Amino acid sequence: MKQLIGTDLKRFNRAWQRAYPHHADIVLVLQSVAYPANVGSLFRIADGVNLTEMILCSATPTPPQPTVVKVARDKHKRIAWRYEERAEEAIATLRSAGYHIAAVEITDEAIPYFDFAAPRRTAFVLGNEDHGVSQSVLDLCDTAVFVPMYGRGLSLNVHVSAGVILYDAVVQHVERND
């Protein structure tokens, strides 16, 4: 066994993507995700799952903010993104386009991410690192999903939670052509 790098790694990824394509249409809505490093990390995760679009709302920093750009490692140039002042308006537009809206939030009705059967068109809403998704936005969501915590911590970092949930949603729509 040897680690793949350079051209070998690119070939491996291309072959894997051909063998296991996914057809999920997933959008990420960031409502006041405050820390630029988290936004940059979310661009990298978005690239990893081939996200359809990211919508950055309210106080979420946008490229070309230096930390976002540095952490994103140019993935902000590959992933379609736009800024929308109000997450409520972004959600209304997504809903009219047929998206299921799922908040990534711990609520009294939240279900664990592994019990969520993600429709092919799903928009996940992430909130502020300290305050979460606002009540006005939660009121517009169809579902709330969370990552269960088995240790003493109450929650994971916003980009870590997003990574877990997004990869799970994508894997639900992978075609196994083997």
Query: What is 33-171's CATH superfamily?
Result: SPOUT methyltransferase, trefoil knot domain (3.40.1280.10)
Least confidently predicted of 16-20, 103-107, 110-114, 133-137: 16-20
Residue 176 has pLDDT above 90, yes or no: no
Span 117-136, pLDDT tens digits: 999 999 999 999 999 999 99
Residue 175's pLDDT band, with cuts at 50, 70 and 90, is: confident
Chain mean pLDDT for the chain: 96
Sign of CA dihedral 44, 45, 51, 53: negative
Q: Is the pLDDT assigned to residue 43 strictly greater than 70? A: yes
Give the domain ranges of the chain.
33-171
CA gap 25, 170 in Å, rounded: 9
On the question of pLDDT at 78 being above 70, the answer is yes
